[in-house]
Amino acid sequence: MTAWFFFLSCAAPDLNVAYPVSVVSILFFVVFAGFVITKEQIPDYLIWIYWINPMAWGVRALAVNQYTDSSFDTCVYNGVDYCATYNMTMGEYSLTTFEVPTEKFWLCITASRVPRM
């Protein structure tokens, strides 16, 4: 993210241009991160924004890290039997609700990719 805003500051002729462009870029980062609009709701011609968005990588990594923890790897949570109802654990169900992949390798990919941005 720092590199992106450094690029914007270099590319913009002055602050009156840099501020609106940075606000619009933040809007795109937030909307296409996969939380406000899930991956399946993003039109096919804009899906590339989802895959290059560093905020999307961070949201995926945090969600996978949180919901694959042992405290969420349970069948019964708050009185709901997720294994019987949805055939998955509570953590997997929560991730699939927002169309986040449930594999832990996303943590490794994000850890290697995001710091370079």
Q: What is the mean pLDDT of residues 63-77?
A: 84
At 73-100, the pLDDT tens digits run 888 888 888 888 889 888 888 888 888 8
At 35-55, the pLDDT tens digits run 788 888 989 998 888 888 888
Reported as a pLDDT band with limits 50, 70 and 90, residue 106 is low
Q: Are strands 80-81 and 76-77 parallel, antiparallel or unpaired?
A: antiparallel
Q: Where are the domains of the chain?
A: 32-116
Q: Is the pTM of this model over 0.85?
A: no
| 61 burial level (CB within 10 Å; 0-12, 13-18, 19+) | buried
How many CB atoms are located within 10 Å of the residue 104 CB?
11
